Structure 1
Amino acid sequence: MSFKEGKSRRALARVAAVAAVAGFGVTGLAGTASADVTIQQYVALGDSYASGVGAGDYLADDGCYRSANAYPSQAAPALGERLWFEACSGAKIEDVVANQLGHLYPVNTEHVTIGVGGNDAGFSSVLGACAGTDTAACQTAVANARKIITDSLPAELDDLYTQVETKAAGADIVVVGNPRLFNETACAGALAITPEEQALLNDAADLLAETTAAVAADHGFDFADPREAFTGHGVCSADPWILGYTGNLESFHPNAAGQDAYTDVVLPLLDY
């Protein structure tokens, strides 16, 4: 799709949305929305990978760890749009639905990114199970995560994506995936997760990416896939874009260079 075709499609959707609002009277734009309908906006939804945990320069002490270096922070000025940075550390799909959709509007929401699903699959717990020397526990945890990704995650993502496209009818919506974490080599930052266990975790990351991309495609959304960009830059690599174990919640999250790489993957899909 060309830039002009994309703009035309979104413009037509906004005309329809405005007509629908007009049908219900001007009170449909009352409240908080009334102050937000005059400028084009970008709404960034998701979890810690979208908020920028690990990239530093956090914007507020609110527990969400939204970083000035995160890809939403970089993309908004490049697009020339107001950023509603809703992504929050620890968020699951249900949290995005409950807490992050309040600034999606049918008229002026130009772009939306959605990056969520890893917490629903329990990847933090899986990493904990794989740390140390109990390979059987690691294998079981990975198998359980894969079952969640296969059995329940698609329906939850489908519901979220439906709500987003309903609320932001004219927006260009991009779903953002996660990279593979590991370089499949040993180092201190890997918490004794062996190369073989790292391969299992990377395979699970591939399943998450493929599953998320398939649901996104069902909705006609682009999928920003960072896996190729991060190849050679995982934990234990010579030039890591993902932190190893740090002793805090930044462990196993993209650093500032990783968020730069995310921006390079995401922005071309937003500004088309």
Structure 2
Amino acid sequence: MSRTRPARQPLERRHRMLAAGVALAFVALVAGCSSTDDGGEKSGGRTATTDVPTRYVALGDSFTAAPFVPNAVEALGCYRSTGNYPSLVARGLRDAAGNGPATELVDVSCSAADTTHMTKPQTTVLQQRVPPQFEALTPETDLVTIGIGGNDFNVFATLTGRCPQLADRDPKGAPCRESLQRGGRDVLTEAVGRTQKRVRTVIEEVRERSPEARILLVNYPQLTPKKGCDNLMLARGDNAYAREVAERLDQALRRAAEATDAELVDLWSASEGHDICSDDPWVNGPETDFSRALQFHPFAEGQQAAADLVLEKLRS
């Protein structure tokens, strides 16, 4: 397949292509018991230690890539930021190393990625083909962070795209929930159950490729308060439905981490009170700000919070 770059377009137009084309993340995860290890116990195939990693690979979707968080890098349409949490973690690790070996960061996170793009190429919104993210893994890799799952089976895209479109049909009802019932079963909640298996497989395959790596699964931040939020643009009853789907996704990620002995970085709990309707949001609302964040995606504040949690986990 030709790697020739398409004709260049004005930067803002390409940005707007991303805003329209990326599956916009929307999830209000609920708290639960995180899967953590006591200091010194085995986790992810190695003993927990304060040693500074030498090779850090970051895998994930747009909540890891952080599109439009300064400084934005087009990255063939993956739109990774130099201010995303992997970059901040790497800087923190380099500071901790002092005169020791510096941490090498290999960040292959990509907007709109799902678990299938760990082993298969991804075509981005700029129609560029990027390699499978697992190609970054090596036996020498000693730290891996994973942030994935929300785009599988179009869960995020349905909640942020289809559901708001249905709101006008029945503003006080739950038209999205009703449209997603099939034979007494719910399409999205069943999809999340399958996502759990996929994320579990991702973690297991990371361990096969990088057996000495410490593996951290980073969950999604809370976008909305428990009482709902007008910024979601959903019918009144679908606010509760969206939260139900989000709860199941959160549970799925936690169970995947627990089943594989990966360490969970609990960004959801830390982000309570920093939803899109709060006075101090960590995630953008429905309007893309090309100087700060894609709609329904993390601000720099949210990426800093995620980085702090990862570094705290590594110190434990």
TM-score class, shorter-chain normalisation, is 0.7 to 0.9
Query: In structure 1, how many angstroms separate the alpha carbons of the residues matched to 2:281 and 2:244?
Result: 19
Is 1:115 equivalent to 2:147 in the alignment? Answer: yes
Distance 1:136 1:257, change over 3 A: same
Q: Which residue of 1 aligns with 2:159?
A: 126
> Which of residues 35, 39, 46 in structure 2 aligns to 1:10?
46
Residues 66, 87 of structure 1: 8 Å contact kept: yes
Distance 1:54-1:181 versus aligned 2 partners, 3 A rule = farther
Match runs of 1:125-204 below 5 Å: 125-131=158-164, 132-134=167-169, 135-139=173-177, 140-141=179-180, 143-150=186-193, 152-183=194-225, 184-187=227-230, 189-190=231-232, 192-194=233-235, 196-204=237-245
- Residue type at the aligned position of 1:133: D
SS at match of 1:91: coil
**Residue identity matched to 1:262:** A
Whole-angstrom distance in 2 between the partners of 1:159 and 1:6: 20
Q: Is the deviation greater in 166-175 or in 126-135?
A: 126-135
Instruction: Provide the rounded CA distance (Å) in 2 between the counterparts of 1:200 and 1:44.
Output: 31
| CA distance in 2 between partners of 1:210 and 1:86 (Å) | 26
- 1:68 maps to 82
Comparing 206-215 and 42-51, the one that deviates more: 206-215
Task: Give the 3 Å change call, closer, same or farther, for CA 53–141 of structure 1 in structure 2.
Answer: farther
Please give the alpha-carbon distance, in whole angstroms, between the structure 2 residues aligned to 1:89 and 1:58.
Answer: 12
Match 2:118 to one of 82, 91, 96: 96
Q: Distance in 1 between matches of 2:308 and 2:236?
A: 28
Indicate how the Cα distance of structure 1 residues 196 and 237 shifts in structure 2: closer, same or farther if over 3 A, else same.
farther
**Matches of 1:56 and 1:130 in 2, distance apart?**
30
The number of equivalent residue pairs is 241
Q: Which has the higher helix share?
A: 1
Contact 1:209 1:225 in 2 (8 A): no
TM-score (norm 1): 0.79
Q: Give the alignment partner of residue 252 of structure 2, picking from 211, 214, 236.
A: 211
Residue 87 (str. 1) matches residue 109 (str. 2) = yes
Shift of 1:155: 2.3
Q: Which runs of 5+ in 1 are unaligned?
A: 12-38
**CA deviation vs aligned residue, 1:90-128 (integer Å, no higher than 9, x gap):** 00100122210112122x211000110000042122222
How far apart, CA to CA, are the structure 2 residues paired with 1:48 and 1:41? 22
What runs of 5+ residues in structure 2 fail to find an aligned partner? 1-36, 48-52, 95-102, 121-131
* Residues 60 and 66 in structure 1, CA contact (< 8 A), matched pair in contact too: yes
Task: Report how far residue 148 of structure 1 moved.
Answer: 0.4
* Equivalent in the alignment of 2:128: none
Structure 1 partner of 2:125: none
Identical-residue share of aligned pairs (%): 30
* Residue pair 1:47, 1:88 contacting (<8 A) in 2 also: yes
Flag the 1:234–1:141 CA change in 2: closer, same or farther, 3 A: farther
Further displaced range: 201-210 or 250-259: 201-210
Calculate the aligned-residue CA RMSD, in Å.
2.6
Question: Normalized against structure 2, the TM-score is what?
Answer: 0.69
Matched residue type, 1:118: G
The reply to whether residue 259 of structure 1 matches residue 291 of structure 2 is: no
Deviation at 1:133, TM superposition (A): 2.7
Cα offsets for 1:198-241 (capped at 9, x unmatched): 34323322211111111111111101121111111112222211
In structure 2, the CA distance between the partners of 1:263 and 1:185, relative to structure 1 (3 Å rule), is same
Change in 2 beyond 3 A, CA 1:41/1:87? same
Residues 5/118 of structure 1: CA separation in 2 closer, same or farther (3 Å cut):
closer
1: CA distance, partners of 2:207 / 2:297: 28
